[in-house]
Amino acid sequence: MEWTEGEYRISDDKSLLSLGRICKLLCRNYFASRKFRETLQLSVEHSLCYGVYHGGTQIGFARVVTDMATIYWIADVSIAEEHRKKGLAKRLIRCIVESDELKHLQGILATSNAQELFEKCGFRRDHLQLMTKPAC
């Protein structure tokens, strides 16, 4: 999957990803501040991943966990601060939800600060409370 507009590009090509850049993007966010590089590397290896690039530099990231049959879960969405407010996060989410692999599956996510963004991309708020089980 490739999308290009002006100097920006979104791709699901994992060979373009920079683990160091992803670590920097996610460590600034509350939801990923405790992730270690090794854990992040393993999660990238076992997920569908999307990079956002400006020129040759990665400036955004999102990860998708899926069974490829019924559901997918969007995680770790982040755009570098200096590139925000340009519609890139919305375009990134649209690239994910409209991809051939995922467009027929039900998408889920959890966010405490980007509800309006995801609503613009077709997600709905509901009254379910997510339950989590910490790793042993």
**Residue 117: which of 97, 90, 79, 98 has the closest Cα?**
90
Confidence of residue 5 (pLDDT cuts 50, 70, 90): confident
Q: Cα–Cα distance between 107 and 122 in angstroms, integer?
A: 10
For residue 40, is pLDDT > 80? yes
Confidence of residue 60 (pLDDT cuts 50, 70, 90): very high
Q: Cα–Cα distance between 39 and 16 in angstroms, integer?
A: 19
Top-confidence residue, 109 or 65 = 65
Q: Which domains does the chain have, with CATH numbers?
A: 2-120 (3.40.630.30)
For residue 30, is pLDDT > 70? no
Question: What pLDDT is attached to residue 106?
Answer: 86
For residue 39, is pLDDT > 90? no
Confidence of residue 83 (pLDDT cuts 50, 70, 90): very high
Question: What pLDDT is attached to residue 62?
Answer: 93
**Helix 19-27 × helix 37-45 angle, to 10°:** 110
Give the pair of three-digit tokens for residue 22: 């992803």
Q: Cβ distance 25 to 60 under 8 Å? A: yes
88-134 pLDDT per residue, tens: 988 998 899 889 999 899 888 765 565 566 566 566 666 545 544 44
Residue with tokens 């077709």: 122
Average model confidence (pLDDT) across the chain: 82
